[in-house]
Chains A and B, each alone.
Chain A
Amino acid sequence: MVPLSYYVILSVIVFVTGVVGVLIRRNIIIILLSVELMLNATNINFVAYSYYFQNITGQVFVFFALTVAAAEVAVGLAIIIALYRSKSSINVDEFQLLKW
């Protein structure tokens, strides 16, 4: 059996990848994908802990995290399309009208 710590280490790696992606990448789509990585790291954690505790709560959280992620993508794409129409770009550095 794979020990619990393996899952936790995997999830930490995925989470840190996501955080670094949000902080250093400039393309909004990549930033959105990085946030999805962060949420997926959460899901790995929850499923692993849920199995470890033999407790269903963690799996319930995963269902909701997936739903929230999908809704985030829908809203995010809508905002990105609105911006693309006026700016023809999806690079965060282009948006300097308001001071960042």
Chain B
Amino acid sequence: MTFTLTLSGADLLLLLPEMLLTVWLCVVLTMDFAMPRLPKDRLAYLSVAGLAGVLANLVWFDLAGIGGTLFAHMFVVDRLAVFFKIFIVGTTILVILASVDYVRRFRFFKGEYYFLVLMSALGMMFMASANDLLSVFITLEFSTFGFYVLVAYLRDDVASNEAGLKFFILGVFAAGLLAYGISLVYGETGKLVFSDIASPSATPGLVIGFLLIFAALGFKIGAVPFHSWIPDTYHGAPTPVTAFLSIAPKGAAFAILIRMFFVSLAAFKPAWVLLLVGASILSMTYGNIVAIAQRNIKRLLAYSGIAQIGNILIGLAAGTKMGGDAILFYLLTYLFANLGAFAIVIAVGNLIRSDEIEDYNGLNRRSPFLAFAMLVFLLSLAGVPPLAGFIGKLYIFLAAIDEGLYTLIAVGLINIVISMYYYLVVVKKMYINEPTDPSPLTISPPMKVVVYAGLAGTLFLGIYPQPAINWVVAATLMFSNLAGPAAAAPTLVLPIGG
């Protein structure tokens, strides 16, 4: 057997964002142990600076259209990968800014917190570039290891430990399913690269293998019936970790799902559409109905997150290029609205040490800014115009209409009404109920930055979505040969904005 191992400068360039982040997380860890008396807030800003550099690098990749594959097609850099990397790095920056106040509460290992967040982000960046099943397995585990520790980070808090344990057991179980599924697919095809395993015939091994892989990724995104870890893990984990966990890994997992369904399994579309339609309907309905009964805001957002994932799965079920566009756009709207809502929960939690919805009574009296921002984020999650969430849902539904998935759309519309109810209950508590303790609340500058970023994103994507739509349409250009009438139209003009 002969092989060559060469890495040219152009190859290394493709790895530049990951290499930058690797060096940077080593710097953060070294500074943490080499300078024990350094204030840990500095490490947060140092991490943000490094991530900003990575973000600039990725934007340059996107603008210059730099792309290619590495390591025998295991690692791919294309517009889709760059989109998801920008998504992940952007989320990480906001999460670190939102963590600064919270981390002060830790008694030990404050510096390592930032290291672990950066490490998970690095794992997810590799996930976005994973182009074969071996790299899917490694990168998924890589990013999840950081999260196992982060979820159980509050060492003296039994709830956090329990959340970590549940997340860990179900996480490693999913890893076992994923690995076994990959081994079956390898047994049928002898290959692992996505584009090579596009087999024309559905043998039992291939079907079971891909079902197991889908189950593992379904666990990652928290779609019903693989959602059982979500409420407890979200509830027990430190709130900034919950915010991170609710957004970034989902984006990274959708990068893999899109590649898997649109490249490897494009030939079997009629079969997997049913699977995805089922998962989508169950996720939306279950998430929204159970969310109504929640008294804890983190659990409420956990169930609402399950429902939002159901919405995103509609785009995957459409299975067209436009469905892909809609997934990407929806993830952007979800990033700003969900991260914004969690930022408010973190801010309020830092001040009053409670995450119960009852304690949001009269928030408008105590801090009109926080209450207004929460109102905007919740309405965006519910899909009220002219906010981002409305355009996201519209885009997803339009993609589904093109494919004739009318049942799915009907269920989706009913679910919007249900979700409106529990979001508005929180709004009513904030604006109409009387506060038990009317003392005003103030928030710190880094938290303000996060809330403003969430507000800006939610309003901008809602009122003037065209630039973002152009961006996501460009990111999925490689799928334009997929079947479907939408593939013919490269740009979409929406009735609002533009």
**A residues neighboring B (CB under 8 Å):** 8, 11, 15, 18-19, 22, 28, 31-32, 35, 38-39, 41-42, 45-46, 49, 53, 55-58, 60-61, 64-65, 68, 71-72, 75-76, 78-80, 82-83, 86-87, 92, 95, 97-100
Q: Contacts A45-B183, A53-B190 known; A83 to B172 CB distance under 8 Å? A: no
**B residues neighboring A (CB under 8 Å):** 1, 134, 137-138, 141, 145, 148-149, 152, 155-156, 158-159, 161-166, 168-169, 172-173, 175-177, 179-180, 182-184, 186-187, 190-192, 228, 231-232, 235-236
Q: Contacts A35-B175, A97-B158 known; A42 to B180 CB distance under 8 Å? A: yes
Contact (Cβ within 8 A) A68 B137: yes
Taken together as a complex, chains A and B put the C-alpha atoms of A31 and B199 apart, in Å, by 35
Contact (Cβ within 8 A) A75 B182: no
Q: Residue on B with the closest CB to A64? A: B138
Other than the known A86-B161, A87-B158, what 4 A-B pairs have Cβ atoms closer than 8 Å? A38-B176, A39-B175, A64-B138, A98-B236
Contact (Cβ within 8 A) A98 B166: yes
Q: Residue on A with the closest CB to B183? A: A45
Contact (Cβ within 8 A) B161 A79: yes
Contact (Cβ within 8 A) B141 A76: no
Contact (Cβ within 8 A) B161 A56: no
Contact (Cβ within 8 A) A72 B137: no
Chain B residues with Cβ below 8 Å from A97 are 158-159, 162
Chain A residues with Cβ below 8 Å from B152 are 79, 82
Taken together as a complex, chains A and B put the C-alpha atoms of A22 and B231 apart, in Å, by 20
Show 12 A/B contacts (Cβ-Cβ < 8 Å), sorted by A. A22-B169, A28-B165, A35-B173, A35-B175, A39-B179, A42-B182, A49-B186, A65-B179, A76-B172, A98-B163, A98-B231, A99-B231
State how many angstroms separate the Cβ of B301 from the closest Cβ of chain A. Answer: 15
Contact (Cβ within 8 A) B145 A75: yes
Q: Contacts A68-B141, A87-B158 known; A31 to B180 CB distance under 8 Å? A: no
Q: Residue on A with the closest CB to B154? A: A82
